Amino acid sequence: MANRSRVTIREVAERVGVHPSTVSRVLNPATRGRITPEIAEKVTKAANDLGYTPNQAARGLRTNRTRTIGVLIPDITNPLFPPIIRGIEDALGESGYTAIIGNTDNLAVRETEAVSTMRARQIDGLVLATARRDDPLVSQCVADGLPLVLVNRTADADGVSSIVNDDALGIALAVSHLKDLGHTKIAHIAGPLELSTGEARQRSFLEALQKEGLSPADCPVAETNAFSEDEGLRTAAELFAEGLSFTAIVAANDLIALGAYEAIADIGLRCPEDISVTGFNDMPFVDRLSPPLTTIRIPHYELGREAARRLVELIETPDSSARATTLRPELIVRGSTASPDR
Amino acid sequence: MANRSRVTIREVAERVGVHPSTVSRVLNPATRGRITPEIAEKVTKAANDLGYTPNQAARGLRTNRTRTIGVLIPDITNPLFPPIIRGIEDALGESGYTAIIGNTDNLAVRETEAVSTMRARQIDGLVLATARRDDPLVSQCVADGLPLVLVNRTADADGVSSIVNDDALGIALAVSHLKDLGHTKIAHIAGPLELSTGEARQRSFLEALQKEGLSPADCPVAETNAFSEDEGLRTAAELFAEGLSFTAIVAANDLIALGAYEAIADIGLRCPEDISVTGFNDMPFVDRLSPPLTTIRIPHYELGREAARRLVELIETPDSSARATTLRPELIVRGSTASPDR
DNA sequence: AACAACTGTGCAATCGTTTGCATGAAACGA
DNA sequence: TCGTTTCATGCAAACGATTGCACAGTTGTT
């Protein structure tokens, strides 16, 4: 029926016997009020009958607004990101926007590349899940006046909106949980410090120690180069090799925790009997590991929704100002944490 | 620097002192040959200097080709789909195309809805990962002449291109593996039969039994209503309740296998000592389950790449004909399969 | 009753590219 | 040398929607 050649506003106009501009005004909610209800009625009916849908390319050309936004993520294959994307797309859909996604594999070149192809497509704004603390791309977008929201990770630059997890709370929950179990010597395996998440979680860990009255001398901190299982394994192994006597590990994320699992097994210890481990993120299936991972659940979906909502707000009310929002995480206690032996 | 107001072809033309159409021809690879090399040179230089990027909205309006394609998936949050999407986007990127993604949650209304908003955006084609065997949306798109490729699942309708896994081979590998271990009584928990994957795997199971010389009477088949853990649990429990004496379960996918794990534990048996289980898909982290899941690895990323390549081909050479392609899966042996006790 | 204000609709320009056609110049064959 | 073909480029008309302005008709004010 409806062939690929679409029905235009002109055909609707001819059908009703009015000028195309009248049809346009009827179909635009903002101007519908200016048209006689009777005519508006006829126009909407004709538009429905003919199956009219506006040509977004034409509209975008004229208005310079495509209702399309770009989303940059490191890798959709990382289970962290799909819920964020889903949240973004759901929220965008409600406002008539659409997302195009770019995977950057954490490579700066691919980031700038992706942004320029997105700009060629006249995106109205950008959601970045790839921000580094010091990120030229962020400053560039801000300088160009491109509406921008950071999600998951934030950047040090100010004047930019961001929706991130409350990492301080998350880490405090983990440390407090371990202390309640009786742990006093707790190690932290930190993420990369050039990422806001890595830095914030490490800083929060130190703050939490203080708040809980634990001695930093008993609580070593090691840093990884990436939020990966390999790095978690390598770094945990290093901690053990130093002969430290901690009884628990607060990992900066779940993958690092997985690496820690391996390191613990490698030296013949058991989790949680000998060493407790906490993760961060609550990725899918970490409840199926052995032992099931005690971790911090981040509201990823809500992070995405909120980011999209904020971006639409930035686009549609240009005077709205940048602000940083944090969402509250939740401690999920499973089998990887227990009281230390003595 | 580059403000949001973009540099147009006209500015480039003025800078060089030629007509806009000349710039257009230089920038279009197909017509560059018709321009004096010397001028072409100057134009490309000016375009670079000014940081010109074509306005895709304008181009799309004029050419009716947006180099945008739509991708419909049930839910990006299902770990099956991100690799497919990644494959699609990577392949599209190589051809200058971009994808917009729609999550449909397997709801027919959301599917048609998503397709119509995508069509409003003038997509050049569609990749469907949501096809049911009898799918009105598929027939509709074919009828409308919208270039279409099915991925992961196919439909019964012919004349439509599809890229799917070779389920017959996958199931054959699983059955053969179990028979080699000594199993003769093997159950199959099938997926929904209205999906091509559910039907093909069940049919292939019966074929494989015959090929391996196993008695169908000893090999019960039960059907689920969804590829989910809950359904796997429910259906496996039913099989056990019937008092059948099988020693292995071939699950139609990994989630169903997970459900089977639970059902096995619920009746006090162990996997693989009492019952072997095979999955299908090799989802992330099934190697971390206990026991690690023996499963069939599907080349999801390649499925996506191939689907995108095929779609671009369909779009750019309109006389190319539809064909169905299958990609070869691989048996991944882990800890959930073992020889039966006796 | 005359003029002002308002209202609803049409007119036409515009957004940035692409592309069929026209044009003038150059190249070629006879 | 003239007529014809070829070639490189300019011209202008699209593509489909939006929107400032104009205009005619109506309503309101004094």
Cβ contact A16 with chain C strand, < 7 A: no
Indicate yes or no: CB of A120 within 8 angstroms of CB of B54. yes
Residue B153 confidence (pLDDT) above 90? yes
Lowest-confidence pick of A223-237, A300-314, B113-127, B165-179:
B113-127
Nearest to B122 by CA among B65, B81, B160: B65
For A222, the 3-state DSSP assignment is: strand
Which residues in A lie closer than 8 A to residue B68 (C-beta atoms)? Answer: 100, 121
Confidence of residue A317 (pLDDT cuts 50, 70, 90): confident
Identity (one letter) of the amino acid at B212? E
Cα dist. A226→A112, A174, A194, A231, A234 in Å? 21, 21, 10, 6, 11
Residues of chain A contacting B101 with CB distance shorter than 8 Å: 85, 89, 99, 101
Q: Is the pLDDT of residue A178 over 80?
A: yes
Residue pair B61/A58 in contact by the 8 Å Cβ criterion:
yes
Answer yes or no: is A59 CB < 7 A from strand D: yes
**Confidence class for position B1, pLDDT limits 50, 70, 90:** very low
Q: Which chain B residue has the Cα nearest residue A97?
A: B117
Instruction: Give the pLDDT confidence score for residue A342 in this predicted structure.
Output: 53
pLDDT (0 to 100) of residue A2:
39
State the nearest Cα–Cα gap between A223 and chain B, in angstroms: 25
Count of helix runs (H) and strand runs (E) in chain B? 12, 12
Task: Please give the average per-residue pLDDT across B197-203, as a whole number.
Answer: 98
CA B130, B136, B142: angle at the middle one, nearest 5? Answer: 90
Nearest to B2 by CA among A54, A231, A40, A146: A146
- Tallying the residues shown for chain A, one arrives at 342
The predicted pLDDT at position B2 comes to 40
pLDDT over 50 (residue B81): yes
pLDDT computed for residue B5 by the predictor: 56
Q: What is the pLDDT of residue A5?
A: 56
B18 touches strand D (CB under 7 A): yes
Please give the residue of chain A at the shortest CA–CA distance from B259.
A288
> Which residues in chain A touch residue B288, judged by CB atoms under 8 angstroms apart?
258, 285, 288-289
Strand C at less than 7 A from CB of A54: no
Q: What digits encode the pLDDT tens for the residues B2-57?
A: 445 589 999 999 999 999 999 999 999 989 988 999 999 999 999 999 999 999 99
- CA-to-C1' span, A59 to D10 (A): 29
Nearest residue on chain A to B77, alpha-carbon basis: A82
Q: Residue A214 above 90 pLDDT? A: yes
Please give the Cα distance from A300 to A164 (Å, whole number).
9
* Residue B150: closest CA among B341, B336, B323, B340: B323
Q: CA-based diameter of chain A, in Å? A: 88
Question: Which of B1, B90, B100 lies closest to A100 in CB terms?
Answer: B100
Mean pLDDT of chain B: 94
Residue ranges and CATH numbers for the domains of chain A are 9-54 (1.10.260), 65-165+300-327 (3.40.50.2300), 167-298 (3.40.50.2300)
CA-to-CA separations, A223 to A131, A275, A286, B14, B133, in angstroms, rounded: 19, 19, 22, 55, 51
- Distances in Å between the alpha carbon of A76 and those of A73, A83, A286, A306, B82? 7, 10, 18, 19, 6
Residue A6 confidence (pLDDT): 80
What is the average pLDDT value for chain A, to the nearest integer? 94
Can you give the distance from the CA of residue A59 to the C1' of nucleotide C24 in angstroms? Answer: 39
- Cβ of B117 within 8 Å of Cβ of A98? The answer is yes
**Is the pLDDT at A86 greater than 50, yes or no?**
yes
pLDDT surpasses 50 at A288: yes
- Per-residue pLDDT reduced to its tens digit, A63-82: 999 999 999 999 999 999 99
Distance B16 CA to C27 C1' (A): 27
**Which strand D nucleotides have any atom less than 7 A from protein CB atoms?**
7-12, 14-20
pLDDT of residue A175: 98
Average pLDDT (A272-278) is 97
CA–CA distance, A65 with A59 (Å, rounded to integer): 8
Q: Taking CB atoms and an 8 Å limit, are A144 and B3 in contact across chains? A: yes
- pLDDT value for B158: 87
Instruction: Please give the span between the terminal C-alpha atoms of chain A, in angstroms, as a whole number.
Output: 76
Helices B37-50 and B9-16, packing angle to 10 deg: 120
Residue percentage of chain A with pLDDT more than 90: 91
* Protein CA A40 to sugar C1' C7 (Å): 15
Among A92-101, A268-277, A312-321, B73-82, where is mean pLDDT lowest?
A: A312-321
What confidence score (pLDDT) does residue B13 get? 94
What's the CA–C1' distance between B39 and C29, in Å? 30
- Work out the average pLDDT over A141-165: 94
Q: What is the mean pLDDT of residues B98-121?
A: 94
Query: Which B residues 48-77 have CB within 7 Å of strand C?
Result: 52, 54-55, 58-59, 61-63
Q: What is the pLDDT of residues B270-310, one digit of tens each?
A: 999 999 999 999 999 999 999 999 999 999 999 999 999 99
Instruction: Please judge whether B103 and A90 are an interchain contact, meaning their C-beta atoms are less than 8 angstroms apart.
Output: yes
| Contact yes or no for B55 and A1 at CB 8 A | no
User: Over 60: is that where the pLDDT of A179 sits?
Assistant: yes
Q: Looking at the complex, report in whole angstroms how far the Cα of residue B131 sits from the nearest Cα belonging to chain A.
A: 20
Which amino acid would we find at residue B52?
Y
